[in-house]
A and B are shown apart, each in its own frame.
Chain A
Amino acid sequence: MKYVDEYRDAEASQRLLGAIRATVTRPWTIMEICGGQTHAIVKFGLDELLPDTITLVHGPGCPVCVTAAETVDEAIELAGRPDVTFCSFGDMLRVPGSRLDLLSVKAAGGDVRIVYSPMDAVTLARRHPERQVVFFAVGFETTAPANAMAAYQAKREELRNFSLLVSHVLVPPAIEAILSSPANQVQGFLAAGHVCTVMGYTEYEPIAQSYGVPIVVTGFEPVDILQGLYMCVRQLETGRAEVENQYSRVVSREGNLPAQRIMREVFEIVDRNWRGIGVIPRSGFALRAEYRDFDAERRFALSPAPALTASPCIAGQVLQGVKRPHDCPAFGTACTPERPLGAPMVSSEGACAAYYRHRRSRPRA
C-alpha cells in the first residue's frame, strides 16, 4: 500500500535506529503528543528497540481522555432525553462520566448512534425533523474543520433540529502547560502530525524558542516516528531548539488554509477544562455568537455540574507524562479495558489502553 508500506519498512526502521544510537550521548526525555503515535509506538514495539537513554513519555493527545467529565455527564443527560438522537464517534461511548457511560444509556433505550462523520449527523437531522439531533463535537484541531462545516451547513439549511455539544481542545496551550509545570521533565516533542496538517506549525515556533525545546512535526508510522525521534535527538545533542517537519508529505508550515477559515468562521477560542489537568486558559473552541443557536448546551439549557471524584486513577499524571501507565497501582488489576477506572484505558488512543493491549509487562488477572 502506497504511503503506508514504505513507512513500515523493517530495513528503514533499523537504519534509523542505528542513526539514533550513533547520535545519542546522554539521556533524553521526549514526549509524543498524539494518542495515535502512542499506539503506533507500542503496537510496533518501537520503545523496546530504542536505546535505554531515550525515555518516551506519552502526552495528552487523546481527546477522549481529556474531555471533562462534566461534558460526558452532559452528553449522557442529552442522550437520555426521549426527543434526542445523540451522535458520537465510537470512542466516546465507554468513557465514564460521574455514574454512567453512553453505552449504558444506549442499552437503556437512549437513541445513541455511532457516526463516522459529523455530516452524517446533519443528514440524520435533515431526514428526521421530528428528532433533535445532537453531535458530540470532541477532538483536537484535527476534527474541528469537519465539525465547523457541519455547523456551517446546518445554518445554511436553517435546520432547527441540529446542534453540537462542543468540547474541542487545542494542542499548543497544552504543550505550554506541560512545559511550565514545575514537575516537567520533557525536553523535546513530537508534535501531532494530523493536527499540524490542519493548523500548520507556525504556532509552535514561539514555544520552541521561549522554552528552548525542539519540536518535530511527526507522522504515525514506525519510520515516521523513528525519523521524528532522530531529528529531535539530533537537535538535543547539538543544543538546537527549533521546529522541524518530519511529516512533510502531508504537513506544510501554513497548514490547510480553507480548513482554518471555516474553523475561524464558526469557532472562537475559550478557556477549557481538561480532565485530569484542570482549566487551561484559551485552550479550547466554542461556537461563535453567530452559531450559538447550534450550541447544544444553550439549546437544552444544560448547566455543567462538578463531577464526582475519588478514584485511584492517575490519568492526569499519565496524560501529562509525569507517570506512565504501568506506574499506576491499578493498571491491569483494578483497571482494565473491561472495567476502566479512567478514560486513558477506554479510548483506543489512550496511553493506558495502548500499553494494556500491546505490552507484555502487565499482570494477568
Chain B
Amino acid sequence: MSERDFNQTCPLPIGSYPTVLLAHGGGGRLMQQLIDQVFAPAFSNPALDARHDAALVAAGGARLALTTDSYVVKPLFFPGGDIGSLAINGTVNDLAMAGARPLALSAGFILEEGFAIDTLTRVVASMRAAAAEAGVHIVTGDTKVVDRGKGDGLFINTAGIGIIEHELTIGPAGVRPGDTVVLSGDLGRHGIAIMATREGLAFESTIESDCAPLVSPVLDLIAAGVAVHCLRDLTRGGLASALNEIATAGGCGISIDERAIPVREDVRGACELLGFDPLYVANEGRFVAFVPADQAARALDVLRRHDVSSGAVVMGTVTQDPSKLVTMKTRIGASRVVDMLSGEQLPRIC
C-alpha cells in the first residue's frame, strides 16, 4: 500500500459554544465553566466565592446559611421519590453541608398550562411529608404558569435558610493534608433509579433512589465534638465531581481506595449494563465528610447510628499534592486519576 497522508482530515475545533447545551447542567466541567465565565465574575463577593453548597451570611451575632436549588427532574415520579421530595431534601441537605440547622424553606413553582392538578397535589403532599421528616417548614412560595409547550410540566425552585449553632467553619478551605475522607453510604442509587424509569428497564428488585435528608447525622457529628473540616453531598456528577470540586477549591490532592467504595450489587450491574461509572452517578442521600484522621473512628461511630448513614466507611485521605488531583488506587493495585466529568452522564437527574 502506498504512503498515506496523516492527519489530513482533522477539523477545526469548536472552541466554545455560543449557546447553552444540556451538558451545561450536568454538574461537571462544562457547568463549572459556565459558572466561572458568566455567573461568578458578575456576582463575585466573599460569600459566593467560597463556592460551598450553602453561603454563609452574618446577621446580628448569628451565622446563617443560605442556599437555593431548582428541580427539573424527569420523570417527575420515580422509585424512592419524586420531584417534590427531591426539592425539599436537596435544599435541606445543602444547608446541612454547611453544618447548619435548617430553619425554613421557600418553594417556587413554574407550572405548564395543562398540567394536571391531581399530579400537582401528589407532588405537594410529598413535599409536606419530606419537610416534616426534615423538621422544616415551607414558609413562603410563588406560583407561575407558562403556556403549554413552554414548561415541560413542572419545575420547582426551593431556597433554604439555616442557622449555624457551633464554632466550626465547614467548607473546602478547611480541608487539611492528612484529613480522612468518610463516605456516608453506597453509591449510585438515585441516578440508576431515574435511568431505569426513563428507559423502562426492570431489574430483579426495583432500584430505589436514596433521596433522604442528611441533617440528623451531620448535626450529631458536630454535637459529638468531631472537628468536621468539610462536608459535601453527592449529587450530579457523583462522588468524583464532589471530590474534584473540593480538591480544586481546597487546593489539595485527594487519594481514595477503590476497594473501600461501597456500591450495591444491583446498582453495579445496572452501571455495567448502561456503561456508567458509579463514581459519577448521581446520589441524593449521600455525603462525604473530611475529618482529622484521629477522629475518623468516632465519626464512623456517630454516622452508623443513623439509618441514612449506616453504611458509612473510610475511603480516602487528603494529600499534599499541589496539582489538586483526585487519585484512586485501583483494585488491582495500580493508580489512576479520577477526573471531573466533562459533559453529563444523564440529563435532568435532579
The reply on A342 being an interface residue by CB < 8 A is: yes
Interface centre among B29, B323, B334 (most CB of A within 10 A): B334
Contact code string A111-147 (vs B, CB < 8 Å = 1, else 0):
0000010000000000000000000000000000000
CB contacts under 8 Å to B, within A272-288, are 273, 275-278, 280
Q: Which of A188-196, A231-239, A355-363 is near enough to bind chain B? A: A355-363
| Contacting residue for A107 out of B3, B21, B332, B335, CB 8 A | B21
Query: How far does the alpha carbon of A322 sit from the alpha carbon of B3 in the complex, in Å?
Result: 14
Asked if A45 contacts B12 (CB within 8 A), the reply is no
Query: How far does the alpha carbon of A335 sit from the alpha carbon of B19 in the complex, in Å?
Result: 20
The reply on A101 being an interface residue by CB < 8 A is: yes
Asked if B21 contacts A317 (CB within 8 A), the reply is no
CB contacts under 8 Å to B, within A330-365, are 335-342, 348, 356-360, 362, 364
Contacts of B339 in A (CB 8 A): 356-358
The reply on A301 being an interface residue by CB < 8 A is: no
CB contacts under 8 Å to A, within B185-203, are 199
Asked if A338 contacts B33 (CB within 8 A), the reply is yes
Asked if A96 contacts B12 (CB within 8 A), the reply is yes
Query: How far does the alpha carbon of A340 sit from the alpha carbon of B342 in the complex, in Å?
Result: 11
Asked if A10 contacts B332 (CB within 8 A), the reply is yes
Asked if A364 contacts B323 (CB within 8 A), the reply is yes
Asked if B16 contacts A317 (CB within 8 A), the reply is no
Query: How far does the alpha carbon of A97 sit from the alpha carbon of B199 in the complex, in Å?
Result: 30
Contacts of A72 in B (CB 8 A): 11
The reply on A104 being an interface residue by CB < 8 A is: yes
Contact code string A227-271 (vs B, CB < 8 Å = 1, else 0):
000000000000000000000000000000000000000000000
Asked if B265 contacts A307 (CB within 8 A), the reply is no
Asked if A339 contacts B9 (CB within 8 A), the reply is no
Query: How far does the alpha carbon of A99 sit from the alpha carbon of B11 in the complex, in Å?
Result: 7
Asked if A315 contacts B7 (CB within 8 A), the reply is yes
| Contacting residue for A8 out of B325, B331, B337, CB 8 A | B331
CB contacts under 8 Å to B, within A208-230, are 222
CB distance from A123 to the nearest CB of B (A): 12
Contacts of A68 in B (CB 8 A): 9
CB distance from B31 to the nearest CB of A (A): 11
Interface residues on A, range: 35 or more
Known: A96-B11, A97-B11, A104-B14. A276 touches B336 (CB 8 A): no
CB contacts under 8 Å to B, within A291-337, are 307-311, 313-317, 320, 322, 335-337
The reply on A58 being an interface residue by CB < 8 A is: no
Nearest to A360 among chain B residues (CB) is B337
Asked if B20 contacts A107 (CB within 8 A), the reply is yes
Contacts of B10 in A (CB 8 A): 69, 275-276, 309, 311, 313, 315-316, 341-342
The reply on B15 being an interface residue by CB < 8 A is: yes
Asked if A45 contacts B272 (CB within 8 A), the reply is no
Query: How far does the alpha carbon of A317 sit from the alpha carbon of B10 in the complex, in Å?
Result: 11
Query: How far does the alpha carbon of A107 sit from the alpha carbon of B343 in the complex, in Å?
Result: 14
The reply on B128 being an interface residue by CB < 8 A is: no
The reply on A187 being an interface residue by CB < 8 A is: no
| Contacting residue for B333 out of A10, A70, A310, A313, CB 8 A | A10
Asked if A116 contacts B12 (CB within 8 A), the reply is no
| Contacting residue for B14 out of A101, A316, A358, A359, CB 8 A | A101
Asked if A45 contacts B4 (CB within 8 A), the reply is no
Contact code string B317-350 (vs A, CB < 8 Å = 1, else 0):
0000001110100111111110100110000000
Contacts of B268 in A (CB 8 A): 1
15 sampled A-B residue pairs with Cβ under 8 A: A10-B332, A45-B335, A69-B11, A278-B4, A311-B13, A313-B7, A313-B10, A314-B7, A315-B7, A316-B10, A337-B342, A339-B16, A340-B13, A342-B13, A364-B325
Extra pairs beyond A97-B11, A182-B3, A309-B7 (15, CB < 8 Å): A44-B330, A44-B336, A45-B330, A48-B335, A49-B332, A49-B334, A107-B22, A222-B332, A276-B10, A314-B6, A322-B6, A336-B342, A337-B343, A338-B342, A340-B14
Ranked nearest first, the 3 interchain pairs of A and B with the lowest CB-CB distance are A45-B334, A337-B342, A316-B6
A residues contacting B by CB (< 8 A) are 1, 4, 8-10, 13-14, 42-46, 48-49, 68-70, 72, 94, 96-101, 103-104, 106-108, 116, 176-177, 180-182, 222, 273, 275-278, 280, 307-311, 313-317, 320, 322, 335-342, 348, 356-360, 362, 364
